[in-house]
Amino acid sequence: MATIDDEYRQRADLLDEWVENQRQIAVLQARSASLLSRRIELHDEDVKFDGFHRDIYYRSMVAEYSAAGRIANGTMDKAFSDAHFLSEYPRLWDAFRRGSVTAAHVHEIIGAGFVVSDAVTAGTADAEVQTLFEVSALVIAERCTPAATRVELRSLAAALTGSTVAEQQKRARSERAVTIRSVGDGLALLQIVLPEHLAVAILDRLTRIAQQVIKTRADLDPVLDLDVLDSGENPLRPEDIDPRYDDGTAAYADGVIFGESGTFTTDPLIDPLVDDSSPDLEHPPVDERGIDELRADIVTDLLLGSDPTATRGTALDGIAARVQVTIAATTLAGEDDRLAELDGHGPLLPDDVRALAGRASLWSRLFVDSTGMLVETDSYTPTEAMKRFLHARDQHCRFPGCRMPVHRCQIDHNHDHAKGGRTHLDNLSVFCTNHHALKHPDIDERHRWTARQLPGGDVQWTSPLGRAYADPPPRRVMFV
């Protein structure tokens, strides 16, 4: 009979084998990139004396690999591009060959590195900045998911070449657009390209309105369609229903509600599946839309001029979009033009933040040390001060790799309050609902995670297998 130790060992062995397989996959990805790089060298030889056909030769090469590998042309094009620019990152190449980073990490590093290489080429940054970026990027990539790596690298590149990022963002404003394309089955993709902070705010507001609809839709008054009652093979009309039997007793007291002037409706509180005496009752349809469907319907209502409060539930008009940004006081006052940061996403132009400041109802004054670590925030009352501090410090869910914004997360006592955990900053962290649930005491200990805060603000998660995964607090980027 297997013991608990045997069960844990088996699960641990499976995890170790999976991690090793992932590393080997990355090694194979590096070999594939090397093959693509060699193919690009052959391509360069082909077009050395025929530059006029360079583009068509390249497209032909990509198309062949795309067809042979049954890979989308755009994906194959990105793979060739990444393989080509890897030659500029020798340390990244070595890490890729060892399997320390994946192809997805490589793609994010190269993409973010264009800002740095452009600045070096333009002479606005020293050549050593490229090396600094590569070394820092590897440290980030070896502990973060590709998505989290992208966010941190955008901030890193902005910190190293602030002026270049600002100029690129200003130039990119001209690329704002709205496009549409069919996706089949009567659906279409409506795509809006606009400044990132506005897109984040729009999605946040749609999400919060949808959540309010889900929360309050049970409170909506039922509306019965009388046209349905008065149509079909056996239409139901007021004169067809006598509210009393011949002896004068109520006939449909439990199924029909009568009003003035002969009007009537069925009782929406009676369930025909439960009440066998009223099998023909009509009931309003239940709103079973998911949050994605609701967001799509709500943005349609808003764009087409419908009133979301009247059509989608209660208290929706009071929901405003929210974004969290960080900006130096001197920049906010207009004394300089250092880049701000759209927390959890990357650099933001100071003019955009100044525009937001004119409409904001709350700004938190933060104090950071020389490394960018948040050490203090101003306060009003102790409880609110702690919440504001945690939101400002954590920025997003503190599970490794999770980027759920703080305003959609919960504040957790790392050491359970019911078991003596203090309501103190060194015992509190922000977790999204999905990761918060991992440490719920009702979960069997064989599957339950634990989390504790270490000195300095790191949150150390311990898996059911006893493996520890640390999440350092997000650093505030110092744009200098």
Please write the tens of the pLDDT for every residue from 282-323: 555 677 888 899 999 888 888 876 566 555 555 666 666 667
**Percent with pLDDT over 90 in the chain:** 26
pLDDT class for 269, splitting at 50, 70, 90?
Answer: low
Distance from C-alpha of 156 to C-alpha of 346, rounded to nearest angstrom = 9
In 3D space, the residue among 3, 80, 77, 73 whose CA is nearest the CA of residue 39 turns out to be 80
Q: For position 276, what pLDDT does the model report?
A: 47
- Name the least confident of 15-24, 207-216, 359-368: 359-368
Q: In sequence order, what are the residues at sequence separation of 6 or more whose Cβ sits closer than 8 angstroms to the Cβ of residue 197?
A: 323, 325, 342, 345, 348, 352, 356
Q: For position 380, what pLDDT does the model report?
A: 46
User: 3-class SS at 354?
Assistant: helix
Residue 399 has pLDDT above 70, yes or no: yes
In a 10 Å sphere around its CB, with 0-12 CB exposed, 13-18 middle and 19+ buried, how is residue 374 labelled? buried
Q: For position 99, what pLDDT does the model report?
A: 96
pLDDT class for 246, splitting at 50, 70, 90?
Answer: low
Residue 147 has pLDDT above 60, yes or no: yes
Distance from C-alpha of 267 to C-alpha of 253, rounded to nearest angstrom = 9
Q: For position 163, what pLDDT does the model report?
A: 65
In 3D space, the residue among 394, 341, 345, 339 whose CA is nearest the CA of residue 151 turns out to be 345
> Mean pLDDT, to the nearest integer, of 269-287?
53
- Name the least confident of 178-187, 193-202, 366-375, 411-420: 366-375
Report how far apart, in Å, the C-alpha atoms of 356 and of each of 67, 170, 325, 351, 422 are: 48, 17, 9, 9, 37
> Mean pLDDT, to the nearest integer, of 190-210?
89
Distance from C-alpha of 348 to C-alpha of 363, rounded to nearest angstrom = 17
In 3D space, the residue among 337, 311, 341, 302 whose CA is nearest the CA of residue 325 turns out to be 341
Supply the mean pLDDT for the chain: 80
Q: For position 59, what pLDDT does the model report?
A: 87
187 phi and psi angles, rounded to 5 deg? -110, 155
Q: List the structure tokens of 231.
A: 């149509």
- Name the least confident of 26-30, 185-189, 213-217, 379-383: 379-383
Residue 110 has pLDDT above 90, yes or no: yes
Higher pLDDT, 459 or 181: 459
Neighbours of 201 (CB within 10 A): 17
Burial 33-51 (b: 16+ CB within 10 A, else e): beebbebbeebeeeeeeee
> Mean pLDDT, to the nearest integer, of 266-274?
53
Q: For position 369, what pLDDT does the model report?
A: 63
Task: Provide the Cα torsion 372, 375, 377, 382; round to 10°.
Answer: 160
Q: For position 240, what pLDDT does the model report?
A: 56
**Percent with pLDDT over 70 in the chain:** 75
Cβ contact 412:430 at 8 Å = yes
User: 3-class SS at 378?
Assistant: coil
Q: What is the CA radius of gyration of the chain?
A: 30
Residue 249 has pLDDT above 60, yes or no: no
User: 3-class SS at 456?
Assistant: coil
pLDDT per position as a tens digit, 441-477: 888 887 889 999 998 889 999 988 888 888 888 876 5
